[in-house]
Amino acid sequence: MQRNHGVPPAPHINRLSLVALETTGATTRTLWSTSSLLMSLLLCCWLLMPTGAEADTLDPQVAIEIDHLLEHIRTAPCRFNRNGTWHEADEAAEHIGRKYRYLLRRDRIDSTEDFIRQAATASSISGRAYLVQCRSDTVLKTADWLTGILAELRQHEPP
């Protein structure tokens, strides 16, 4: 079956050539789409893959504090603004967690304050501050909100 979309074939191209060209074009598009999808998936897996060195280089107390902050973000009755778009708490925790793991693999996190400053303060692309709004109309910078939560956590820790 010839699919020429209403355009008559050029006189020098026979029917078999048209089918071959269409098939080749479709195959090329399909292969490109499949390879792009595969590369995207591999990149995501690589970014999320633990290296083993993470636990060795980060102070255990810092890891506990960061885990606490990420869980607080995930379970807070709040919404979070990133680059002008509001997101649910679980989406925000996932995004900040990905940034944290990325920075940790590059040995750029040494303290909980580093985590707040580098992973939870602003967009790496636009530089716009992350915002949080919980139960009231008050909108805070996420960095200020997390710094307050960290201070409360440290107040209640045993010496």
**Same-domain status, 148 and 79:** yes
Candidates 80, 153, 52; CA nearest to 112 is: 153
Structure tokens at 131: 């915002």
Tell me the C-alpha distance between 80 and 130, whole Å: 7
Model confidence over 10-42: pLDDT tens digits?
555 555 444 444 445 555 444 445 665 555 555
Confidence of residue 5 (pLDDT cuts 50, 70, 90): low
Contact 49, 33 (CB under 8 A): no
Which sign, positive or negative, has the C-alpha torsion 115, 152, 78, 91?
positive
**Same-domain status, 116 and 38:** no
**Same-domain status, 9 and 26:** yes
pLDDT score recorded for residue 81: 98
Contact 149, 72 (CB under 8 A): yes
Candidates 71, 100, 76; CA nearest to 88 is: 76
Q: How many residues does the chain have?
A: 159
Model confidence over 119-147: pLDDT tens digits?
999 999 999 999 999 988 899 999 999 99
**Same-domain status, 62 and 41:** no
**Same-domain status, 87 and 142:** yes
Number of domains, the chain: 2
**Same-domain status, 34 and 4:** yes
68 is in which domain, residue-wise? 53-155
Q: For residue 145, what are the contacts with CB-CB under 8 A and spacing of at least 6? A: 132, 134
Q: For residue 120, what are the contacts with CB-CB under 8 A and spacing of at least 6? A: 69, 73, 96, 99, 130, 142, 143, 146
**Same-domain status, 34 and 79:** no
Model confidence over 76-113: pLDDT tens digits?
999 999 999 999 999 999 999 999 999 999 999 999 99
**Same-domain status, 96 and 133:** yes
**Same-domain status, 60 and 6:** no
